[in-house]
Amino acid sequence: MLRNAVEPWHLIVVLVVCLLVFGSKKLPDMARSLGRSVRILKAETRELRSQDTPGTGGGG
C-alpha cells in the first residue's frame, strides 16, 4: 500500500508549496535552524547511548 508513497513529483509539489507559504527569504533560515536542531538531537542521543553502557544498570 505504501510502497510508492513518495515519488519525486511529490517532493517538487511540497517544495513549491513551502516556497509559496513561507517565501524565499525565510526558507534558508528555516533550513539552518532545522539543521541545528538535528545536530543537537544527534549529540544528545549519542550522549545518552554513551551513558547507557552495559554493566551500569543501577539496579540493586
Domain residue ranges in the chain: 24-50
Alpha helices, H only, the chain: 8-22, 27-51
Record the pTM.
0.53
Rounded CA separation 40/48 (Å): 12
Residue for grid cell 526558507: 27
Q: Render pLDDT for 6-57 as a digit per residue (tens, 0 to 9).
A: 788 888 898 888 888 888 788 888 889 989 999 999 999 999 888 876 655 5
